Amino acid sequence: MLIARPSGRDFTVIDAFSRVVKLGEGLATSGRLSDKAMERTLAALAICADKLQRRNVRLARSVATEACRRAENGPDFIERVRRETGIALDIISAEEEARLAVLGCHILLEAGEGPAMIFDIGGGSTELVLVEAGGPEASRVPRILDWQSVPWGVVSLTDTVGRSEEGEAARAARYAEMRRLVSESFAPFAMRVAHAARHSDIRLLGTSGTVTTLASLYLELPSYDRKAVDGLIVPATEMRDISARLSVMTPYERSTLPCIGQDRADLVVAGCAILESILDLWPARRLGVADRGIREGILRSLMAAERRSAHSLRALQQQRSGQAGS
């Protein structure tokens, strides 16, 4: 959750809250949201509801993504959330999810004249967005040329491949299977963007817990520091090396690393597999890291809509004033 106050065309963050709830855990095999996952999510949303009330938020938008799109009981869960917390979740499409991610983080794209790829690795899906090359203004939202959403996120991929990690050979085989599944799902999109990927100046920007976690490991941070990570540019080879190391570690070894901990220890390997598959189809030399995305995209959408509304109201008032004068 992000609570902010408009400041010109930007905003100042007043409060924020984040918690790993794994809402889609078990969904890949059952087709339903589990009771435990829903309880974890409701507990987090209750905290959000309290913050919204205490901060006297007057305008809000709350969204749900792939887990609720796919789950048989997704609509029932949305209704339960509304009933128990007062939060009205809107299940957005994969296309809207991709658009909001671009809107929220595009300003961090590395400067250059080549085409760019923006991606968002979620819990239940991953969105890839090809955006136009160059652009006269960094603040201008780039035009989306093509996009793809696949049903592989860190939770859905982990659940599908399984969590057994007994022995280094088994961990390597598990990682290879993750890479295979993701690469196959990316294949149609990879073919469509192959020509653009051959440009000498392609750029890449990622927003997700996976890329911010790997960036933290690259910087060897003792604890997570958003200011150090958001906007960082990392050599793609370094991200591949870190991914390879994590893929053969035991869950315990991963959990002891700074910025991973118990919450992400069993999910980060799937994120690494997705990231490497993205680097295969879009072989940029560097990777931009964004600790911003859908939430910031929603905020900017709300602010833009409010500006349009205020502009329309002023125009109407001026029109009426002119009519009264005549």
Lookup: tokens for 127: 């969105």
Note the pLDDT tens digit of each residue in 21-68: 999 999 989 999 999 999 999 999 999 999 999 999 989 999 999 999
Phi and psi at 162, nearest 5°, equal 105, 160
The dihedral formed by the CA atoms of 62, 35, 292 and 245, expressed in degrees to the nearest 10? -170
Q: What angle do CA 26, 29, 32 make, to 5 degrees?
A: 60
Q: Find, among 247, 270, 241, the residue nearest to 162 by Cα.
A: 270
Note the pLDDT tens digit of each residue in 244-286: 999 999 999 999 998 898 878 889 999 999 999 999 999 999 9
Domains of the chain, start order: 2-92 (3.30.420.40), 94-292 (3.30.420.150)
Considering 28-32, 160-164, 187-191, 295-299, the range whose residues carry the highest mean pLDDT is 187-191
Phi and psi at 10, nearest 5°, equal -115, -165
Average pLDDT over residues 224-236: 95
Burial bucket for residue 11 (CB in 10 Å: 0-12, 13-18, 19+): middle
Q: Are strands 116-121 and 89-91 parallel, antiparallel or unpaired?
A: unpaired
Give yes or no for a contact between 90 and 63, defined as CB atoms under 8 angstroms apart.
yes
Report the sign of the C-alpha dihedral through residues 261, 165, 163, 239, in that order: positive
Is the backbone of residue 31 left (phi > 0), alpha (psi -120 to 50) or beta? Answer: left
Calculate the average pLDDT of the chain: 91
